[in-house]
Amino acid sequence: MKILGVVNQKGGVGKTTTAINLAAYLAAGGRRVLLLDMDPQGNASSGLGLRGQERGLYEALDDPGRVPELIQPSGQPGLDVLPATPDLAGAGVELAGDPQALTRLLGQVEGYDLILIDAPPSLGPLTVNVLAAADALLIPLQAEYFALEGLAGLMETVERVRGGLNPRLRVLGVAITMFDGRTNLGQEVETMVRQHFGELVFWSVVPRNVRLSEAPSFAKPINAFAPLSSGAAAYKRLAEEVMQRVEKI
* 113-141 confidence digits (pLDDT tens): 999 999 999 888 999 999 999 999 999 99
**Cβ(71)–Cβ(119) below 8 Å:** no
pLDDT of residue 189: 82
Contacts of 218-224 spanning 24+ positions with Cβ under 8 A: 219/46, 219/47, 219/48, 219/49, 219/51, 219/75, 220/48, 220/49, 221/20, 221/21, 221/23, 221/24, 221/25, 221/47, 221/48, 221/76, 222/21, 222/24, 223/21, 223/24, 223/25, 223/28, 224/24, 224/76
Q: Is the model's pLDDT at 2 over the cut of 90?
A: yes
Give the H/E segment covering residue 34.
Answer: strand 33-37
Mean pLDDT over all residues of the chain?
91
Q: Is the model's pLDDT at 193 over the cut of 90?
A: no
- Check if CATH label 3.40.1160.10 holds for domain 2-246: no
Distance CA 22, CA 35 (A): 10
Where do the structural domains in the chain lie, given as residue ranges?
2-246
Q: Is the model's pLDDT at 201 over the cut of 90?
A: yes
Distance CA 84, CA 20 (A): 14
pLDDT of residue 116: 98
Enumerate residues 6+ apart whose C-beta is below 8 A from 34: 71, 79, 80, 81, 82, 109, 112, 114, 115, 116
More confident residue, 187 or 23: 23
What percent of the chain has pLDDT above 70? 100
Q: Is the model's pLDDT at 176 over the cut of 90?
A: yes
pLDDT of residue 146: 74
Per DSSP, helices labelled H in 198-229 are 210-214, 222-225
pLDDT of residue 74: 93
Q: Is the model's pLDDT at 155 over the cut of 90?
A: no
**Cβ(105)–Cβ(62) below 8 Å:** no
- Taking the model in full, what pTM does it have? 0.93
* 50-89 confidence digits (pLDDT tens): 877 778 999 999 899 899 999 999 999 999 999 998 888 8
